[in-house]
Amino acid sequence: MATRKAKLVMTALSVIITASVALLAYNISTQVSEGIVNTAAKYDIIIGPAGSATQLAMNTMFFTDKPLGTIPYALVSELENSGLVNAAIPFSMGDSYNAAPIVGADARLLEDKALQSGAMFAAPMEAVVGWDVARQYGLAPGDAIVTSHGLDADGAAHGDHPLTVTGILRRTDTAYDNAVFTPVSTVWALHDHGDKGHGDEAGHDEHESPDHAEGGEICAVLVRSTGFSAYTRLTDIYSGRSDLLIINPNTVLREVMNNVDLSRRIVYLLCGVILVMNLFVVSAIALLSLVDARREVALMRLIGIGMGRINRLYLLENALTALVAMALSLGLTHLCLLLARRFLATMGIALNASRIYPMEWAILLALFLLSILPTTVAISSMARRDGMEQF
């Protein structure tokens, strides 16, 4: 009995590991791909300081990586007055709340995002909080949050200038769930006070209005042009400036997608190798179990139980083991997704740990059929033997 129990556990573990790896690979790669595609479609031009195109795209689209530097806010007015854009949205980063990035922009950045509660920010020192940040720290409209300088939790805290939460974003399963949004003027105000507190000799009037827009600086401008002709003209105008970098986020993120697809193919190949190894393990265990059970089979035949019923009993045992293993692997997969959410959030990847794709059910069905295949083959061979034969 102990030997049979050990073989049963080994079979279940083999199926659980194989199914979990396959489900994790498919679920994570699909969610990452969907997040990149959905995010890249929002803007057709991003203008920032000269530097890495990938870094600029990842910073502005997924709020990860450090900004390349700063550019004059006056560029926003220049774009809006050009007649070539539908929107030119300022973007700034540099502070954080418990490692969640503080994104300085205007309300148009969130125009396609619904609020779960509260209202959109309307003045400096107000903030709208992403769903995951609000859930993790128990925030609600009316709460005050203290930000810190830099993009991690170790920076100097702006304790004298807390932000007031005015709204909570509805869950989007994107990088927006893991960030805090506030007017650009808030970022300027915090940095003015921070510089003052750290002895900046340039000095600022303590009562200076933070809305010093034309003289301020931002990290990038997110642009929606009026059409292809406008896009071409804007590209021609600003690509010639050595101090600026102009990118098409779709083009840059497509290159990132190519790397994701390559990684996904490698993971799928490893899953295939694990699946083949699992098939050999399950086949060996199934055959050993049936060989060890030859005396039981002979005894059941002796008391009049037909081979068809005996075969169904062994097949049912194997099928129940596989079903339990599938259920456990599905639960383990989504537990791993839940544990990975916070880590992946630091890379701008938002995972929905409860999401189950139809293909995942297809993967489980395929693995279930492969798991019972060795037993099916073995009992088919056994059915052709004489019932009293000692194998």
pLDDT given at position 227: 87
Asked if residue 344 is part of any domain, the answer here is yes
Pairing of strands 126-129, 144-145: unpaired
| Distances 343 to 36, 102, 169, 237, 253 between C-alpha atoms, Å | 18, 18, 21, 40, 21
Asked if residue 390 is part of any domain, the answer here is no
What pTM was estimated for this model as a whole?
0.68
Residues 293, 171 within the same domain: no
Asked if residue 271 is part of any domain, the answer here is yes
Residues 232, 97 within the same domain: yes
Asked if residue 388 is part of any domain, the answer here is no
Asked if residue 389 is part of any domain, the answer here is no
Residues 50, 82 within the same domain: yes
Domain that holds residue 267: 2-34+256-383
Question: At residue 29, what are phi and psi to the nearest 5 degrees?
Answer: -65, -35
Number of domains in the chain: 2
Asked if residue 215 is part of any domain, the answer here is yes
pLDDT given at position 370: 78
Last residue of a domain, one of 230, 247, 264: 247
- Type of residue found at 316: L
Residues 29, 49 within the same domain: no
Cα–Cα distance, 223 to 231 (Å, whole number): 9
pLDDT given at position 321: 81
pLDDT given at position 158: 63
Residues 13, 116 within the same domain: no
Residues 289, 180 within the same domain: no
Residues 261, 332 within the same domain: yes
Burial call 293-306: b when 16+ CB within 10 Å, e when fewer? beeebeebbeeeee
Residues 303, 216 within the same domain: no
Residues 137, 274 within the same domain: no
Phi-psi region of 57 (alpha: psi -120 to 50; beta: other; left: phi over 0): alpha
Last residue of a domain, one of 190, 217, 247: 247
Last residue of a domain, one of 247, 270, 294: 247
Asked if residue 180 is part of any domain, the answer here is yes
Residues 156, 297 within the same domain: no
Asked if residue 391 is part of any domain, the answer here is no
218 forms beta bridges with: 71
> Contact at 8 Å (CB) between 106 and 181?
no
Residues 306, 327 within the same domain: yes
Pairing of strands 71-72, 180-183: unpaired
- pLDDT tens digit at each of 391 positions of the chain: 566 677 677 777 877 888 888 888 888 877 777 777 666 667 889 999 988 888 898 888 888 878 888 899 999 989 999 889 999 999 998 788 888 889 999 999 998 889 999 999 989 999 999 998 999 899 999 999 988 876 665 666 666 788 999 999 998 878 888 899 999 988 888 876 544 443 333 333 333 344 445 558 899 999 998 888 998 999 988 888 888 999 988 888 777 777 666 666 776 777 777 777 777 776 777 666 666 666 666 677 677 777 667 677 777 877 888 888 888 888 888 888 877 776 666 555 667 777 888 888 888 888 888 777 777 776 666 655 554 454 4
- CA angle, 136 as apex, 134 and 140 as ends, to 5°? 30
Residues 188, 315 within the same domain: no
Cα–Cα distance, 151 to 348 (Å, whole number): 13
Question: At residue 135, what are phi and psi to the nearest 5 degrees?
Answer: -65, -40
